[in-house]
Structure 1
Amino acid sequence: MRDFIEKMRKAGLVVDVQEEVSADMEAPKMAAGTDKLVFFHRIGGSRAVMNLTASRTSLSLALGIDETKIVKTLADAQFNGKVIEDGTLPMKKPDLAKIPIMHHYPKDAGKYLTSAIVFSRWDGVENASIHRMQVLDDHRVAARLVEGRHTHVMLKKALAKGEKLPIAVTIGTHPAVTFASCTRVPTGMELPFAAELMGGEMKVKRCSNGVLIPDAEIVLEGFITGDLTEEGPFVDITGTYDPVRMQHIIEFTGMYTKPDFIYHGILPGGDEHKVLMGCPYEPKIYKAVAGVTQVKNVVLTKGGCGYLHAVIQIKKSTQGDGKNAIIAAFAAHTSLKHVVVVDEDIDPMNPHEVEYAIATRVSGDRDIMVITGVRGSSLDPCQLEDGTNVKVGVDATMVLGREADFSRATW
């Protein structure tokens, strides 16, 4: 992570805050005002960064991929990086009070770990994913585990055998590793994918409970238990409060920190949260749409919370391609709510261009698809009590054979 911070600094994308800053809402509020990396040099006796990858420019620097080619390059990923085991880490007694864990918003239930990657291992299978964690005391947290996701599935298998799930949590990893942990990959392929993104290989350490972890500023070793407690409220991707749920408790048994560690916090509902929620889905949508038409680009928009709205750029060859692209996108990312399909001459990253396409190329009776009674995102405040929602697709492409009627004046 430190190498990446210096790369961002050379690119002029770091804001240094030298004065003392509080982890109790002050630092998060400052980070909300910019998409540059904010480096807090004095926070709770330590150092911290926020907005590590809060823009596509910073994500491009992190992955070493041209900003305009990120989606296509990631769609071609092979998940074949080499993971090299390289020793162990010296662990001490855990004490979360030594870390500047942040309280982000007034109605949050308390302090939350937001960038922590949970590495877990069961039956020889490794998994990595980010889970928010509400601090309970100096060695326990309540983790939001989405039902049916891999961590939750592994936990259920462990509990069925009367065991706890061994895990290790890293904070302050290289953002390519964080991105890999947010991506839906083949089972157990998060570490190889991270290694692929890191240039082909990556060294890892083995914790005493058998879990493998990459280089990190902070490592917490422990187990997910069968014990439950209330978790929340907490602000999620839409900027609204997620409800209180009964969630599993993680007990930490060991802790490692670099001598002058740098804590990494992600602002809930902020730009980095949106990048890490949405960008990993863009290659998946790209591949799905490529199966029905020639796709050029896919963007999950910031205004759509980086998760609920997609703009898909295609090159039409038949009149129905736009609608087929919409159907493929909804199938690939079931949390999508609204999809707009545009032509090659429309920049999908420019909301003014996209609105122009809707204004001049859409006939409501022919080009808008409304699908009711389908599963959407549980994060959407509009969802009904049965979990269903309404999806809308907009085909904002030109009518084939009438392109001249839609051509724009240029010099």
Structure 2
Amino acid sequence: MLTAKDPQTGRRSMGLHRLQVKGSRRLGIHLANPPISRFAAKAEENNRPLDVAISLGVHPILLLASIVSSPIEDKVAIAGSLLGSRLALTKCETSDVDVPAHAEVVIEGKVLPKLREPEGPFGETSGYYFSDQSHVIEVTAITHRKNPILQALHPTSQEVALLCGPAGEAEIVQMLREKGFAVEDLALSAPSGRTHVAVSLKKRHDSDPKQLLHFLLAGVPYIKHAVVMDDDVNVQDPGDVEWAIATRVQGDEDLIVIPNLRARSIDPSKKAGMFTAKVGIDATVPVAERHRFKRIGVPSAIKQGVAKRLAAIISPALAGR
């Protein structure tokens, strides 16, 4: 977890950024995401290094707060709110940065201006290896607890999926609801590296799904494929999503393709210039034909009656064993 300050305002923030050890006092760092990428750019404009600190082995809430996209750049404050108490910080030895007092290891240093070096190849959340020209950190100090525990994140692990998924889902739901879409639920697909999303919508007009798809695909850079379904579909169940696509989609009417949108840097299929085509699927039923798409199901009263009868038969049998 990287911590730094805006060189103009002094506001601090945190983020997760991959690192490569290049020597005893040298690290490569991939600064692709704001706000710390902006901090580095501001410092570089004045040909000045950016003080940073890397905290290893921190509370999981800090990792979650560090990846949340929020107008509140001070993600330490976000972490404190999630914890329900003020976060204990301590000053670094050589960097003008405060870090979590409970961190297992802290690596202090400076992002050097106007310097890029080859980095990688690194395994990424897309499931492929990537190399890049990345920033360089000059290490100025290392501090640690007694017998520290080193924590690392595997890019395609369930741990990363559980960390990144809820934050991204909450952000997109809020964005869509603020635009007036009656979103019921939303699920980012972990195997796709969060590039696939399923949305359930309380549809009022037949135009709603395609309007949502256009806004979502253009507005969220990392989403590549999206499907919108009615609110009777459980988007958290991949089987239910597949069923909706299989029974409610006509390919000549319900697909949209938007070419030449911004691509993710870690997508190996991207086109030259960092562009990609995005696909949207409208898997909702026409408003006027909902009566034809009523799902089969056993009434709850019958389910409860069967459960009671089974309990009456099974319980005495188990008691007599």
TM range (shorter): 0.7 to 0.9
Of 27, 48, 60, the residue aligned with 1:175 is 60
In the alignment, does 2:143 pair up with 1:256? yes
Q: Is the 8 A contact 2:68 2:168 kept in 1?
A: yes
Whole-Å separation in 2 of the counterparts to 1:191 and 1:259: 25
Q: For CA contacts below 8 A with separation 6 or more, give which structure has more relative contact order.
A: 1
Secondary structure, aligned partner of 2:15: strand
Q: Report what 2:128 is aligned to.
A: 240
| 2:256 is the alignment partner of 1:369 | yes
Contact 2:218 2:261 in 1 (8 A): no
Aligned to 1:119: 3
CA–CA distance in structure 2, aligned partners of residues 351 and 300 of structure 1: 11
Q: Post-superposition shift, 1:126? A: 0.7
Identity of aligned residues (%): 29
Equivalences, count: 292
CA separation in 1, counterparts of 2:219 and 2:165?
13
Describe the SS at the equivalent of 1:221.
strand
Equivalent position amino acid for 1:195 in 2: G
**Contact kept? 1:308, 1:337, Cα under 8 Å:** yes
Query: What CA distance in whole angstroms lies between the structure 1 residues aligned with 2:212 and 2:174?
Result: 11
Q: Which residue of 2 aligns with 1:344?
A: 231
SS at match of 2:107: strand
TM-score normalized with structure 1 length = 0.68
Whether the 8 Å contact between 1:168 and 1:220 is mirrored in structure 2 is yes
- Judged with a 3 Å threshold, the aligned counterparts in structure 2 of structure 1 residues 152 and 288 are, in CA distance, closer, same or farther, namely closer
Residues 287 and 301 of structure 1: CA distance in aligned 2, closer, same or farther (over 3 Å)? same
The alpha carbon displacement at 1:241 in A equals: 0.9
User: How far off is 1:187 after superposition?
Assistant: 5.1
Normalization by structure 2: what TM-score?
0.86
RMSD of equivalent CA atoms:
1.7
Deviation at 1:279, TM superposition (A): 3.3
Deviations 1:264-290 (A, max 9, x none): 111122222334444322122112221
Task: Provide the rounded CA distance (Å) in 1 between the counterparts of 2:186 and 2:232.
Answer: 14
Alignment partner of 1:334 is 2:198: no
Q: Tell me whether 1:138 sits opposite 2:24 in the alignment.
A: yes
> Residues 301 and 349 of structure 1 are in contact (CA less than 8 Å); yes or no, is this contact kept in structure 2?
no
Amino acid aligned to 1:297: D
2:51 aligned partner, one-letter code: P
Q: Which residue is 1:322 aligned to?
A: 209
In 1: Cα distance, 2:41 partner to 2:223 partner: 28
**Aligned partner of residue 402 in structure 1, secondary structure:** helix
The CA deviation at 1:173 is 1.0
Structure 2: give runs of 5+ residues left out of the alignment.
Answer: 299-321
Q: After superposition, where does 1:370-385 map in structure 2 within 5 Å?
A: 370-385=257-272
Do 2:11 and 2:74's aligned partners in 1 also have CA atoms closer than 8 Å? no
Of the three residues 180, 186, 194, the one matched with 1:292 is 180
Per the TM alignment, residue 248 of structure 1 is displaced from its structure 2 partner at its CA by 1.8
Aligned to 1:233, the other structure's residue is in SS state strand
Structure 1 counterpart of 2:81: 196
Q: Distance in 1 between matches of 2:184 and 2:239?
A: 19
Give the distance between the partners of 1:367 and 1:168, measured in 2 at CA: 49
Which amino acid in 1 is paired with 2:90?
Answer: K
